[in-house]
Structure 1
């Protein structure tokens, strides 16, 4: 193998490992939120993740138990606006 091929392989493996860790942390957070919800007698995150299923009377929305909650959290993080008041000292 040439050094260029080794570098490309290292980048690909690094990307895959990083993606696996980020995904694992996201779903571990989902599990934590669901367990804490149960401990506090709440439902926990359960709204993100509907899929339409065909039925005889039309389409029924099937709940997946919040499986897409980490994706919804990521979208919220990227689109969140950082608001600072007008006369604020940013150095502090």
Structure 2
């Protein structure tokens, strides 16, 4: 399993619009090949992270175009281009 962790910053006052847009995109995001779990966290100031768990790094890399297209839908709300990093998942616990 592989995690793509992306740091982002929304423009001031755009949290509600970003959340609405994100919710409208749920089926598009979850339909990406290999997507196992998607978590998006954001503070009141617009700073946030996306953690996408996918089957493998190869699958994550193959989704690069679709991910870029998804982020492009937020271009008017983002302060800067999001900064993604990838990690091997060594634990994924739930209760």
Q: Give the TM-score of the pair, scaled to structure 1.
A: 0.25
Give the structure with the larger helix fraction: 1
